[in-house]
Amino acid sequence: EELLDKELPLKFVEVDEEQGRLVLSNRKAMADSQAQLGIGSVVLGTVESLKPYGAFIDIGGINGLLHVSQISHDRVADISTVLQPGDTLKVMILSHDRERGRVSLSTKKLEPTPGDMIRNPKLVFEKADEMAQIFRQRIAQAEAMARADMLRFQPEEWTVSQFRGYLRSIVIR
């Protein structure tokens, strides 16, 4: 009943004209749309609900978590003073775990100056794409530095987990 008159993304799974059977999947359509989510991407979202630990944001049919620590550089004691259900905002994708279906979001990385999300959220919205570009450039520089360091330290001795740990240590958080 609750899905009547709602648009859902669907993917064709099976079409059998002889038996008059059509199988569609919302889950597969959502998985395909999630494949488009790249780390550092800025997307438009709607606040669905607030919890003490963060806000759940609908980003095109996918729910992501904007953790309270990722709202602003300034401390947010009460989320409801910054966000309300129904608010539209721009968020950056921090991580995307496709296996568990979890998306981590941030507005903190989009602040031109620390605390802007609390004092001037409109400015954060306006400057979001510009700040995300700066973030992606920093990531690219860190990866280039890591590659250069790896070449100096006999790369055959590095494991994948060692390389990831090294990247985490040099990426500006």
The CA dihedral of 93, 94, 98, 101, to the nearest 10 degrees, is -80
User: Which residues of the chain fall below pLDDT 70?
Assistant: 27, 29-37, 151-158, 168-173
- Output the pTM of the full model: 0.65
Residues 45 and 30 in one domain: no
Give the E-state strand segments of 2-158 in sequence order: 11-16, 21-25, 42-51, 54-58, 63-67, 88-97, 102-106
Residues 62 and 17 in one domain: no
pLDDT at site 3: 76
pLDDT in tens, 3-23: 788 887 778 888 888 998 988
Interacting residues of 55 by C-beta distance below 8 A, sequence separation 6+: 47, 48, 49, 65, 66, 71, 79, 83
Residues 127 and 87 in one domain: yes
pLDDT at site 32: 60
Residues 59 and 29 in one domain: no
- CATH code of the domain containing 48: 2.40.50.140
Nearest alpha-carbon partner for 114 in 124, 105, 100: 124
Residues 71 and 145 in one domain: yes
Q: Count of CB atoms within 10 A of residue 102's CB?
A: 13
Domain count within the chain:
2
Longest dimension (CA), the chain: 64
pLDDT at site 35: 54
Task: For tokens 């903190």, name the residue.
Answer: 108
Question: Could you give the percent of the chain with pLDDT greater than 90?
Answer: 32
User: Two tokens at 98?
Assistant: 């496709």
- Residue 61, by phi and psi: left (phi above 0), alpha (psi -120 to 50) or beta? left
Domain span at 14? 1-35
